[in-house]
Structure 1
Amino acid sequence: MKIRVFPAAFRNTALIAASSAALVAGTSVAAQEPLKIGMSFQELNNEYFVTMQEALESAAESLGAEVITTDARHDVAKQVSDVEDMVQRGIDILLLNPADSVGVETAVLAAKEAGVTTIAIDAQANGPVDGFVGSKNYDAGYKACDYLAQQLDGEGKVALLDGIPVVPILQRIEGCTAALEEYDGIEVVDKQNGRQERTHAMTVTENMLQAHPDLNGLFSVNDIGSLGALIAIEASGQDIKLVSVDGHPEAIEAIKRPDSAFIATSAQYPRDMVRLGLGLGLSKYWGASTAPSEIPIDVSLIDRDKAADFSW
C-alpha cells in the first residue's frame, strides 16, 4: 500500500469551506462561461513539475475549465513573456511557479493590472500575489541534514549543493545549516551551486570530491541534482552519505538500494500542492473572505525503511 500523507493544510476548516464554496460557484458558472486557468512553470523537464501539471489538468477537467500551461525553462524573461501572453488570452486565475522569485515581479504586476487572481506555487513571488502554497522548505532542509548528521554519528565533513535563487532553495539551505550547527563534530567545508541539474551537479560534485577527498556527507537542495551527485560519488569510490529534498521517483529507487550512498530525502507532495493552489485561487477569485493568504505543506523524511511504500 502506498503512503499518502495528507498535509496539515487539509485540516484547515476555513480553507475547506472557502474552497468548497468556490468550487460550487465555479462549477455552476463554468457551464455558461468556462474559467481559464493559466500555470507558468519554472521548468517541465522534471517529473516533480510534470506531476503538478497532470494534477492541475485533472482538477480543471472536473471543473470544466480551460487550462494553459507554459515552460519557462528557468528563463525569467521567458516566464514574464509567457505570463503576459496568458493575460492577453484572458485567463482568470494564474498559478505561478517562479523561475526567479524577484525577477518574476513584472509578471505578477501585469496579472494584477488585468484583474487576474494570482497564486504562487512552490516558490513565493515578489509583487501583489493573492496567495501562496508551498512546502515547509526550512523543515525539509532541517530534516534531511539532521538525519545526515545522525547517520554520521555527529562527526564529519559535509558539503552543500545549492541551487537557483528562489525562496524555497534558500530556506532549504538555512534549515540544513541550522541542523548541522547543532552537531559540534560536523564541519561544512564547501558549498557550490549545482543548479538543480543532473549533469551540472555531477560535475560540481566531482570537483568538490577532488578538493575534499575526506568528505563524509553531502546535502543537495533537490533530487535531480542529487542523482547527478550520486553518479560522481559512486564513481569516486568514496564513502559519502547523500541526502536531498523532493521525493522524486528516481531518488526513491536509489534510496531503496542497500548499498546506495543516497540515504534519505525530505519528500514534498506536488499533487496536493497544485490542488490546494487551485482551491485557494478559486476561493480568492470567487471572493471568499475567509481564505488564507498562505498554505504551508508538511514534508516527510523518507529513508530506506520508508522508501518501499512511498510515491507521489
Structure 2
Amino acid sequence: MSNKLLPALFAATLGIASLSACSDDSAAGSSTEKKSVTLGFVNGATTEFHTCLQKAIESEASTEGAKVITANSKQDPAAELSNIEDMISRNVSALIVQTVNVDALKNDIAKAKSANIPIFMTSVITSDTTDILGAVVVDLKALGALDAGWIAKDAGSAEVEAGVIAGAPGAASDLMSAGFTGALPANVKVVANQPGMFNRAKAQDVAENMIQAHPDLKYAFVANEDMAFGAYQAFQAAGKDVKIVTANGTDAGLAAVKDGKFSATVANSATDIGQLAVKNTLTLLNEGQADKIANIKISLITKDNLSEAPKYCLA
C-alpha cells in the first residue's frame, strides 16, 4: 500500500467512527425524549362523578401518550392506602388521587414521598400542600354557598326549614355541607343533616326519615344529583313539595332542573377536572409551567341558564 493512501484511509476511518457515534447519541436522545410515562389513578368511589373523572383521565392520558393504571378505593381509607402501596410497587411515574378522606391521605402521601413518587390530587387538597406535586380542585365550600344563595333568594325573609343530605363523611361532602350551612341566612334553619353516602337508595331512606320528622321542610341540599333523585322520590311519595338544590351538572341532573324536579344544581365538570389533572401532572413532572393548585370553574344552573352548563362526562 502506498504511504500516500494512509492519511486518506485514516481520515475516512475517523469519519465513519464519528458518524457512528453521532448515530448512537441521536438514538439515546430519542429514547430519552420518548420515555414512557405511567400514571397511577386511585379513584375514591363508583358514583357517576368518579366514573366520568376516570374516563377523562384515561382519555387525556391516551392523547398525551401516557399509560394509566387504575384502582378504586370504594370510600374505604384502608383500601386507598393499599391501592397507593400497590401503585408504588408498580413504580408509576406519578399518582393521581381522588381521595376518600383528606386526613387519612397524609399517610398515603408520606408513603409515596418515601418512594419518590409524586402525588397529584383531584377535587380536594390537604391543608399542607408541600409534599404534593399539585392539584386540580373544586372550591367545594363555594359550591355549597351557591346553592345556599339560591335558597336565600327564593325564601326571601320567610322563616323556613332546610335539610342536608350529605355524602360520605371525611372529604368533599364535609366541605360542601359546611359551605352550604355557613352561607344560609338566619331565617333558614337547618333542622336535619344526615349522610346519604353518595347512594341513591340510602339518600331516599334519609329523605323519608327527614320529612317524617320535619313535615314542614321547605328545602333540601343534596350533595350530588344521584342522591337527589332518591330524595325527590321520597318527598313526592310523602306528598311534600320540597325544593331540592344539588351539585354535578350531569345530563340527567340538567334534565331534572329543566323539568322542575330540582330547583338548582351547581355544575362542576368531571371531564374538566380529569383532563386538567393529567395535563398539569405531566407538565409539572417535566418541570414545566402550570399552576400547582388549579381551580375548576363552577356555575349555579337553573332553568334560566341551562345552556351555560359545561360538558360533564365523555361519551
Structure-1-length-normalised TM-score: 0.83
Helix, strand or coil for the counterpart of 1:103?
Answer: helix
Which has the higher mean CA deviation after the structures are superposed, 195-204 or 155-164? Answer: 155-164
- For residues 152-197 of structure 1, give each alpha carbon's deviation from its aligned partner in whole angstroms, at most 9, with x where no partner exists: 334211111122234432222222123213xx42222111122221
Q: 2:205 aligns with which of 200, 203, 206?
A: 203
Partner of 1:238: 240
Q: 1:150 aligns with which of 145, 153, 157?
A: 153
1:284 Cα deviation (Å)? 2.2
Is 1:165 aligned with 2:164? Answer: no
Partner of 2:7: none
Amino acid at match of 2:296: I
- For residues 231-252 of structure 1, give each alpha carbon's deviation from its aligned partner in whole angstroms, at most 9, with x where no partner exists: 1111111121000111122222
Amino acid at match of 2:135: F
Gaps of 5+ in 1: 1-27
Partner of 1:19: none
Is 1:66 aligned with 2:70? Answer: no
**Mapping of residues 55-134 of structure 1, within 5 Å:** 55-125=56-126, 128-134=131-137
d(CA) in 2 for partners of 1:117 and 1:92?
8
1:218 Cα deviation (Å)? 0.5
1:222 Cα deviation (Å)? 1.8
Please say if residues 169 and 195 of structure 2, whose CA atoms lie closer than 8 Å, have aligned partners that are also in contact: no
Partner of 1:274: 274
d(CA) in 2 for partners of 1:196 and 1:154?
32
d(CA) in 1 for partners of 2:308 and 2:103?
38
Partner of 2:182: 178
Please say if residues 31 and 64 of structure 1, whose CA atoms lie closer than 8 Å, have aligned partners that are also in contact: no
Please say if residues 268 and 300 of structure 1, whose CA atoms lie closer than 8 Å, have aligned partners that are also in contact: yes
Helix, strand or coil for the counterpart of 1:227?
Answer: helix
Please say if residues 37 and 65 of structure 1, whose CA atoms lie closer than 8 Å, have aligned partners that are also in contact: yes
Helix, strand or coil for the counterpart of 2:104?
Answer: coil
Amino acid at match of 1:239: D
Partner of 1:9: none
Amino acid at match of 2:145: Y
Helix, strand or coil for the counterpart of 1:90?
Answer: coil
d(CA) in 1 for partners of 2:298 and 2:271?
13
1:32 Cα deviation (Å)? 3.5
- For residues 254-277 of structure 1, give each alpha carbon's deviation from its aligned partner in whole angstroms, at most 9, with x where no partner exists: 11214x2x1111110211112222
Residue 154 to residue 193, structure 1, CA distance change in 2 (3 Å): farther
d(CA) in 2 for partners of 1:195 and 1:162?
7
d(CA) in 2 for partners of 1:218 and 1:58?
35
Helix, strand or coil for the counterpart of 1:160?
Answer: strand
Structure number with greater Rg is 2
Amino acid at match of 2:143: A
Amino acid at match of 2:305: K
Amino acid at match of 2:63: S
RMSD of equivalent CA atoms: 2.0
Amino acid at match of 2:274: V
1:105 Cα deviation (Å)? 2.3
1:208 Cα deviation (Å)? 0.6
Helix, strand or coil for the counterpart of 1:218?
Answer: strand
Amino acid at match of 1:303: T
Helix, strand or coil for the counterpart of 2:120?
Answer: strand
Please say if residues 47 and 198 of structure 2, whose CA atoms lie closer than 8 Å, have aligned partners that are also in contact: no
Residue 120 to residue 29, structure 1, CA distance change in 2 (3 Å): farther
d(CA) in 2 for partners of 1:29 and 1:159?
58
Percent identity of equivalent pairs: 27
Is 1:297 aligned with 2:301? Answer: no
Residue 236 to residue 30, structure 1, CA distance change in 2 (3 Å): farther
Structure-2-length-normalised TM-score: 0.82
d(CA) in 2 for partners of 1:152 and 1:30?
62
d(CA) in 2 for partners of 1:116 and 1:169?
28
Helix, strand or coil for the counterpart of 2:174?
Answer: helix
d(CA) in 1 for partners of 2:257 and 2:115?
46
Report the number of matched residues: 279
1:83 Cα deviation (Å)? 1.1
- For residues 269-312 of structure 1, give each alpha carbon's deviation from its aligned partner in whole angstroms, at most 9, with x where no partner exists: 21111222222212221123x54331122200111233366342
Partner of 2:140: 137
Helix, strand or coil for the counterpart of 1:102?
Answer: helix
Please say if residues 144 and 244 of structure 1, whose CA atoms lie closer than 8 Å, have aligned partners that are also in contact: yes
d(CA) in 2 for partners of 1:124 and 1:179?
22
